Chains A and B, each alone.
Chain A
Amino acid sequence: MKTTLAALATLTAGLLFSAHSLAHHSFAAEFDAEKKLDIAGVVTKVEWTNPHTYFWIEVEGKEGVDVWGFEMGSPNGLMRRGWTKDTLAIGTEVIVRGTQARDGSTRGNAQAVILADTCTRLFAGTSQRDFVEDESAKVEGCTPKQ
């Protein structure tokens, strides 16, 4: 929890959230839609499990490295949208946008996973897909490295 403030960024206000097609359980009971996250880090682990896929990233903070864990949709949902087992390789630099767990831990619900090299946005299949209205739109706040 050291770098939360550094990592947090306010996202566009006025986004519409609604109960939605890939929610497995109550989103509102676990995550706080008001605690928005916008974090850059390096993927250290990916778990292709049901009912949610998880991945972890290491984030450089002011006082060292923090580990953040993120929940996405289930593998079937992600793979229908073009994900493969290799999409999020260990060592990949990503930008994750989402919301934080209610308990304040370094856990979150990923709504957009952006590959930092290309600024490609991957559908994260979460309970707040409406977060990204136009998935083909240019990713704000990301400059391709290549």
Chain B
Amino acid sequence: MSKYLKLSLLGAAIVAASTTLAQPPAREEGPRTPTPRLADGTVDLNGHGIWELPYITDFATRMVGAQKGDQPPMLPWSKALWEYNRSNDVKYDPEGFCLPPGGPRSMGTPYPAEFVQQEDRILIIFEGGGHVWREIHMDGREHPEDVNPTYFGHSVGRWEGDTLVIDTVGYNEKTWIDFNGHVHSDQMHTIERITRPFKEVLHYEATIEDPGAYSAPWTVAWDIEWTDGAELQDYICQENNIWLVELKDDLGHPFFEKMEAP
């Protein structure tokens, strides 16, 4: 068993001792200011402040309806790859290369985020994850029939009452589900549900449907805390990522070879 695995299991055990895995912790302390709204009554997803994204290193610990120790319903190949990723200290995690988190991982990655709400689209801007943003079309459009795969895919959103529902397809396969090494295929389809039950908390849920890597859809959920008045900062991950130079492959050779011009 690798050290990382041992540490992860220890960390998971500590978390499990204090919270229930099946549901995100309900916020029992602190202020509960009424949900802020825009002039037309729509939920205001931001205001002057930032969302302190939690660092969800292992999505299995946040599965809705799951018991401690459960894993998402992986297919044999995705399970084998997940086990391989864990066996080598998850050193090939793309986010460690300063590549974007992609998908739901973006909402559980280090450093805060902000929502920018416009009439026809919502942007989520992230301090971390490579200082990236997501664009969610709110103008009623549908997904293109044949989407070119990208890190964040193609997102369309709609309001169901006070719940923002984001439907995304067209992910590439260059990201991991989480730091723990769960993987996905380019068939991944995510449905995210975001509510702001009161000003200080955003409740986040994501259903991952990926017949290429999982035998059934699975859902994760967590709460995100608000910090009033705080602002995003600079974070340019690719500036000096020495990890890229140091990383060796399984045979001890540099992982990143110099690319030759054609």
Contact = CB atoms under 8 A, between A and B. Distances in A.
Q: Is chain B a partner of chain A in the same complex?
A: yes
Interface stretch (A3-11, A13-21, A109-117, A137-145): A13-21
Contacts of B127: 76
Secondary structure call for the A interface? loop
A33 interface: yes
Chain A, interface size category, equals: 20 to 34
Interface in A22-76: 22-30, 33, 47, 49-52, 74-76
Given A50-B235, A76-B127, A77-B111, A18 B240 contact: no
B98 interface: yes
A19 B7 contact: yes
A80 interface: yes
A50 B179 CA distance: 19
Interface stretch (B89-97, B162-170, B207-215): B89-97
Contacts, number: 94
A77 B235 CA distance: 9
Query: For chain B, what secondary structure do more than half of its interface residues adopt (helix, strand, loop), or is it mixed?
Result: loop
Given A74-B237, A75-B233, 4 more contacts: A20-B11, A23-B57, A28-B7, A51-B235
21 contacts: A17-B10, A20-B11, A20-B55, A24-B96, A24-B110, A25-B91, A25-B96, A26-B4, A26-B89, A26-B96, A29-B89, A29-B90, A33-B7, A51-B239, A51-B240, A51-B243, A52-B242, A75-B235, A76-B233, A76-B235, A79-B233
Interface of A: 16-30, 33, 47, 49-52, 74-77, 79-80
